[in-house]
Amino acid sequence: MDELTLTFSFLLTLYLSVSGINSTTFTVVNRCNFTVWPASSSSGAAPALSTTGFRLRTDESMAINAPTAWSGRFWGRTDCEEDSTGKFSCSTGDCGSGKVYCSGNESRPPTTLIEFSLASNGKSNDFYDVNLGDGYNLPVIVVPRGPFGTSCRSVGCVVDVNVECPAELMVYSDNQRANVVGCMSACAAFNSSQFCCKGDHNTHETCPPTNYSQFFKTACPRAYSYAFDDEDNTSTCSQADYTITFCPVSNSRTGSSLLATKSVLVE
């Protein structure tokens, strides 16, 4: 992180503490055995966070303060590098900015998305979920940290979906098709009304789950699998901070230990 960003983050934290305005702290942690480049984007009129992209090596973490009523997304980028011209790009989660910072740009599928809509001054609940509507690239868990209400719970997808991804949804790191780095959702892969539930009058009844969305749901029961997935996948919490952990169960990309430990998602 550069000096300007660090200064801005410090001043924002100081302002929030002095002014008495409630803020939420997101602690982003990388437990993968490879570097991850987390990123964020804000929704609607919500301001950008103090950083919209940064690097986390294995076991590194970063705390980011969000202002009251902030809404937006986090995600992780993988296999990132700078070319000879200084252009930055990633195999998954790339936002097209050409830099480490995404500066308001959204991610390119497939990406495991973490979504938040924070309460205003603690007067209502935060809403948060993990959404696989754009596919999957990394296991992640969101854990609320109190004080908070009894409705708080952890959400996420802790298994390595890439291991079992249907062949037609697999995304590879290169043309050799040797390394699967992501799993597209059927909507992102095929862009059809059947899988995307396009149209103003679609409901769960008119656009039921498909074999593809059921694959994601079976692997990740506490994440959204498609547009009309069960509403119970959105969790609520009051006056909490949140820890977002990539590869929460195992540092392995094989998924062998991840697949056996779904119970890590506790109430």
Task: Kindly state whether residue 69 falls inside one of the protein's structural domains.
Answer: yes
More confident residue, 267 or 247: 247
Residue 267 located in a structural domain:
no
In a domain, 13, yes or no: no
Mean pLDDT for the chain overall: 84
**In-domain check, residue 56:** yes
Give the model's pLDDT for residue 93: 97
The total domain count for the chain is: 1
Considering just the CA atoms, what is the radius of gyration of the chain in Å? 18
Largest Cα–Cα distance of the chain, in whole Å? 55
How does DSSP assign 140-158, residue by residue?
EEEEEESS--TT---EEE-
Q: What is the pLDDT of residue 253?
A: 44
Comparing 112-121, 166-175, 197-206, the range with the smallest average pLDDT is 197-206
Mean pLDDT of 193-197: 88
Parent domain of 252: 23-258
> Has residue 188 been placed in a domain?
yes
CA distance 186 to 134: 9
pLDDT (tens digit per residue) in 135-144? 999 999 999 9
For residue range 22-38, what is the model confidence (pLDDT) as tens digits? 689 999 999 999 999 99
Q: What percent of the chain has pLDDT over 90?
A: 63
Strand ranges (DSSP E) for 43-109?
Answer: 61-67, 71-82, 88-92
pTM: 0.84
Tokens describing residue 73: 């997304």
Decide if 4 is inside a domain.
no
Per-residue pLDDT tens digits for 43-91: 989 999 999 999 999 999 999 999 989 999 999 999 999 999 999 999 9
Q: Per-residue pLDDT for 14 more than 70?
A: no
In this structure, are strands 113-117 and 126-131 parallel, antiparallel, or unpaired? antiparallel
Interatomic CA distance for residues 219 and 65, integer angstroms:
31
Report yes or no on 118 lying in a domain. yes
Output the pLDDT for position 230: 74
- pLDDT of 181 reads 95
Per-residue confidence (pLDDT) for residue 250, from 0 to 100 = 55
Asked if the structure places residue 63 within a domain, the reply is yes
Ranges 5-14, 151-160, 182-191, most confident: 182-191
- Which pLDDT score, from 0 to 100, does residue 259 have? 33
For residue 87, the domain's CATH number is 2.60.110.10
